[in-house]
Structure 1
């Protein structure tokens, strides 16, 4: 395998279709070029490692980052915010995740997500009603972005008038996950730091307001709630809130945009969905396999020397788990490059697995199901304006930056 395959995966020119590169990568299931990260690309190895307690998500356990092209991006040490529970290991991870889950899902809040169904439907309806000229629609700007942003802000209790402020912060912090070869690393780090600080200061003020006058939103309950794990410190609450706000919509934007792009490329499936809205449930699961919004998990670190496929990966090494490659592994999925919503066995890696599986998975699934079924029902003969569409720079959180389409009309 050529040494530069990781650079090719990160190269923007391959963003529209990285899957041939993943196919090449799987020929060497544990890839290491002698300097960079150890890259794991096959389904069963990734699945096993996601459940392996010897693998750390805490970057403080990383021995060296010189050869890892993703190691320099998105360092939380550069900000006043401590690492979120996504970047911690047990027992700290488990304590914070349990506390965050208390106002979000079972057993303490079993109806939190389902109770939002009516608001979700109304928001989808309103966004489609206001798409404007049916011959000039950008489904990312006009739908896929504002829908999940509205949802996560409603869930946490962020005032509607402040939602627009998160667009800049979210784009900046999501972009920090990827290196940009053409950017000044010092300026880039400063931009990321400033965005984290601005978001942190905003959230600090919001948390103080909720402590004085709590509502029924999730942020209020996190701020004043008490359980067997106690109450979060202010810094833990800031870090957790920032995680939920950014991760709570970034991945869903990609899921919806990738979903509509895939449907428009598969008009027979789009026609099936229009006739049978119930198809959307297995369709979203297949979509999470076929075009996962999170392509890879960088900066996993062995706490001890571990062996994978006969290769010893030293303690403290950087590892990448390429979820999107595992999802297309022919040793796990028959005809993996075919999008088939009728596929019978879709145990995908699209929402991760193990203790770090996607926290917001129930909400993300519901959002995607409602969004795609309604778009399929209401858009008359939708067609892509350009294929591939322009993609975001990000190779980790991969999805279209714009999705221009045209259609013959919008049904009521």
Structure 2
């Protein structure tokens, strides 16, 4: 294995097809070049560490992780808002996640996501109706980008008249995750910081209003709480709401865009989905394995020495878990580079695993199922205009920046 494998993985030129690099990486399941992070690429090793309490997700432990090329970005982000539960360890993580989950899913709110199905259908249909010229459609700009942020606004209870402001904030913060190399980094950080401040101030005002006049939305339930030990502080609530907007939005955009790109590269599967919308359920699971929106989990820190395949990872080391490589590990999945929505036993890591598994997984799955089945039904003979399309530079949140397609028309 060449010593520059991590540099090549991080190189934006590799973004259209990083999978040959992951295959190379798996030849050394615990890769370490002597200075950088320890990089794990095999399914069973990663699954084990995702459940291992000796691996810390707390961003405050990153100071001990020298040589990690992504650690600085994580620490910079962590200074702008209080850390979300995604970047905390138990018991803080467990308390915050439990309270955030109460109005979002089982056991307290088992129908929260499923009850949104009709609203999701309406948003999707409205976006497709508004496409206009079918000669050249940018599926990212016109569909997969605005869809999830609108859903998050409805979930939180953001007034309809304020949704456009959320779209601007989401766009600005997304750009900060995928910086233009020709742009002034100081100006970019200033703009992103301003957007975070504006978002925080808006949410703080909305939280206080919901505490006084609660409604039937998730933000109201989080703001009111359930007793002294089951109520988020304003800062904790701000961090949780920002997590839903930023992390939830970007992953769902990539899931839908990667999904449509994969379907257009597999027209037989696209035809099957058009004929049988029920295929969307297993199809989305295979997409999460085959083209996961989150490619790797970087900058985790070992709290003690850990041995993996005979290699000792010392305490205080930075660890990367390459989920996308694990999802194509031939030790776990037969013929892993084949896209097969009828694949059996598909316990992928596309949404993580363990205590930090994707908080918004039920909603992301439903959004992708509704979006892809409706696109398959209504777009007449869709085709790619560029393959590969232009990709975002981000190595963690991987997806096309634009997806130019054409079609012969829009079915009613």
TM-score bucket (shorter structure): over 0.9
Contact 2:153–2:166 (CA under 8 A) maintained in structure 1? no
Unaligned runs of 5+ in 2: none
Contact 1:254–1:399 (CA under 8 A) maintained in structure 2? yes
> Which residue does the alignment assign to 1:70?
70
Please give the secondary structure, in 1, of the residue aligned with 2:73.
coil
Kindly provide the CA deviation profile for residues 259-309 of structure 1, in whole angstroms up to 9, marking residues without a partner as x: 000000000111111111111111000000000000000111111111111
- 1:178 is displaced (CA, Å) by 6.4
Please give the secondary structure, in 1, of the residue aligned with 2:82.
coil
Please give the secondary structure, in 2, of the residue aligned with 1:219.
helix
Aligned ranges 1:262-281 → 2 under 5 Å: 262-281=262-281
Q: In structure 2, how many angstroms separate the alpha carbons of the residues matched to 1:371 and 1:405? A: 16
TM-score scaled by structure 2? 0.95
Equivalent residue pairs, number: 412
> Which residue does the alignment assign to 1:51?
51
- 1:65 is displaced (CA, Å) by 4.2
- 1:360 is displaced (CA, Å) by 0.8
Q: In structure 2, how many angstroms separate the alpha carbons of the residues matched to 1:265 and 1:134? A: 19
> Which residue does the alignment assign to 1:90?
90
Q: In structure 1, how many angstroms separate the alpha carbons of the residues matched to 2:11 and 2:310? A: 30
Aligned ranges 1:185-264 → 2 under 5 Å: 186-227=186-227, 229-264=229-264
- Rate the CA distance shift 1:146–1:63 in 2: closer, same or farther, 3 A: closer
Does residue 292 of structure 2 align to residue 292 of structure 1? yes
TM-score scaled by structure 1? 0.95
- Rate the CA distance shift 1:206–1:9 in 2: closer, same or farther, 3 A: same
After superposition, the CA RMSD in angstroms is 1.8
Unaligned runs of 5+ in 1: none
Q: In structure 2, how many angstroms separate the alpha carbons of the residues matched to 1:232 and 1:255? A: 30
Q: In structure 2, how many angstroms separate the alpha carbons of the residues matched to 1:192 and 1:298? A: 22
* Residue range with higher mean Cα deviation, 72-81 or 386-395: 72-81
Does residue 410 of structure 2 align to residue 402 of structure 1? no
Kindly provide the CA deviation profile for residues 143-187 of structure 1, in whole angstroms up to 9, marking residues without a partner as x: 101111111110001223333333453345445556876666555
Q: In structure 2, how many angstroms separate the alpha carbons of the residues matched to 1:97 and 1:348? A: 22
Contact 2:105–2:112 (CA under 8 A) maintained in structure 1? yes
> Which residue does the alignment assign to 1:379?
379
Q: In structure 1, how many angstroms separate the alpha carbons of the residues matched to 2:133 and 2:157? A: 32
> Which residue does the alignment assign to 2:117?
117
- Rate the CA distance shift 1:3–1:186 in 2: closer, same or farther, 3 A: farther
